Amino acid sequence: MSTEKIKFPETLISAIRYFADPDTALNFMVSMRWPLGTMTCPQCKCENTSFLKTRRVWKCMGCAKQFSVKVGTIFEDSPLGLDKWLPAVWVIVNAKNGISSCELARSLGVTQKTAWFMLHRIRLALHDGTFELMTRRVEADETFIGALSRNMHKEKRSRTIKGTGGAGKTAVLGLLEHGDGKKHSKVKLEVLKTVRAVELQGHVHKYVLKGSEVLTDKWVG
């Protein structure tokens, strides 16, 4: 499997044509994710893996699990292939004045709802500087921050969390990925509308790789 650097296409049309080939898209993604040429298992971090060419996946010699280049990234839980995702990345990176979900939908031939989802995921990755999700050992906790409600503007006060302990304040979820010798620790913060289980767990599923160890307190959510 080739892992040498591949030049990014210069126009949207060329990007769509370029990434339409499954092997080209795979090689490009590999060069971005594993630039040193060592394919690492997203589950156990073992570097001893074997590439199964007919299925375009790897098998880990440590945990015996198979994984694709999408596993452990923002692309993992999407049915869309790299032939859609990578041109979308090209569009967003090269749109100096930004791009709407409607424009992206027309460019890629997907629905506006799908384009909105892609925009959200890609912007998140560009902000964090990585396409990979948090993994291994992740701490999750929520807190309330902000001034007393009587000191807030009426409009802002109406949007804050109401309830014991958080009245008049904004709820924030914090996620901490523990680093190791090869990787620094990483923190992600997310403003919450509520502290209900469905929202808290939804954000954990969005940012943390399935199968990771998640540490929380005794809050029922």
Asked if 82 and 19 count as a contact pair (C-beta separation under 8 A), the reply is yes
What are the φ/ψ torsions at residue 101 (nearest 5 degrees)? -65, -30
pTM over 0.75: no
Nearest CA among 178, 190, 89, 83 for reference residue 130? 89
Co-location of 31 and 116 in the same domain: yes
Structure-block tokens of residue 199: 């929202």
In a domain, 191, yes or no: yes
Residues 42 and 81 in one domain: yes
Residues 42, 105, single domain; the answer is yes
Q: pLDDT tens across 98-154, in order?
A: 889 999 999 899 999 999 988 888 887 776 666 666 666 676 777 777 655 555 555
Return the pLDDT at 115. 92
Domain that holds residue 122: 12-128
Task: Let me know whether 174 and 71 are in one domain.
Answer: no
CA dihedral over 193, 204, 131, 101, signed as positive or negative? negative
The domain boundary residue, chosen from 96, 128, 160: 128
Q: What is the dihedral of CA 132, 136, 137, 141, to 10 degrees?
A: 40
Mean pLDDT of the chain: 76
Look at the chain and report how many structural domains it folds into.
Answer: 2
